[in-house]
Amino acid sequence: MPLFEMKSFMKLYKGKLHGFTLLEILVSIAIFAAIVSVLYPSYTATFRNIEYTESEAEIYRMARVAMERITRDIKTAYIPSWVNEDEDKDEWIQETGFLGEDEDINGRDADSLRFFCHEHLAFKEDNMPGNAFISYYIKESQDESFTLYRSDTHEFKEPPGEETGGLILCEGLHSLKFIYFDENGESYHNWDSSGDRFRNRLPVMVSIKLEFTHGADAESVIRFMTSVSLPMASNRYEKTS
């Protein structure tokens, strides 16, 4: 565009071109703030719901894995013939046919369970299939939640000390509870097959209760419960009855 035409154009629209006034800017900011204040709660609530759902899904996954592992182990529990008789074994292991102890940490159930079963998991460094000595125990984490450990030692190997040598089965637990039932349906919070009351006997059924602290809601607890029968116990009671 020639220079004289540009000057004519600017002269023509000089009176019509202007910027925003301070009042208009303030009104625009106020409208924008009002819109954001309406949309932001919905935006954050959506992300909270996503976080809550993801946390809950992870809890259900851990609970499923833990319950499946525990029930498979307990279902194949047995008492070796040498228990209470083999002096070559450490005292605590040779007296542990099936030992469930009622324990707590800071007022929350943190039971432990030790027994022999047919569900040994063979890893690369241990290719021997067969029976195993299993130990379930709880340790408290820094965030005050519980971590459940599972120790698995082949029956022909020396097991680790009590509450050592285990792998993490699940985290974020609020509590773990085992309840044991005899052939008459009586329930017990402890079971010791080396004692006089349950000498060389297994419980007929074990009830398992897992409680998880919801990661997205510290005050919310999700509870899982199941029961598993012990075929070896039923067979023994049938033979002795």
Q: Which of 101-115, 118-132, 151-165, 215-229 has the highest mean pLDDT?
A: 101-115
Whether 235 shows a pLDDT value over 90: the answer reads no
Whether 73 shows a pLDDT value over 50: the answer reads yes
Give residue 32's pLDDT.
Answer: 81
Q: Which of 47-61, 75-89, 178-192 has the highest mean pLDDT?
A: 178-192
Q: What does pLDDT average to over the chain?
A: 81
Distance of alpha carbon 135 from alpha carbon 206, whole angstroms: 15
> ∠ at Cα 222 (218, 227), nearest 5°?
150
Whether 172 shows a pLDDT value over 50: the answer reads yes
Lowest-confidence region among 165-174, 194-203, 231-240: 231-240
**Across the strands, what pairs with 109?**
104
Give residue 125's pLDDT.
Answer: 58
What does the pLDDT average to over 50-56? Answer: 79
Tokens 């022999």 locate to: 116
pLDDT in tens, 8-50: 555 555 555 566 677 777 888 888 888 877 777 776 777 677 7
Nearest Cα residue to 205 out of 177, 226, 174: 226
pLDDT in tens, 126-159: 566 778 899 999 999 888 899 999 999 887 777 6
Contacts of residue 9, defined as CB under 8 A and 6 or more positions apart, other chains included, come to 1
Give residue 54's pLDDT.
Answer: 82
Q: Whole-model pTM?
A: 0.74
Whether 3 shows a pLDDT value over 50: the answer reads no
Q: To 10 degrees, the CA torsion angle through 32, 35, 40, 46?
A: -140
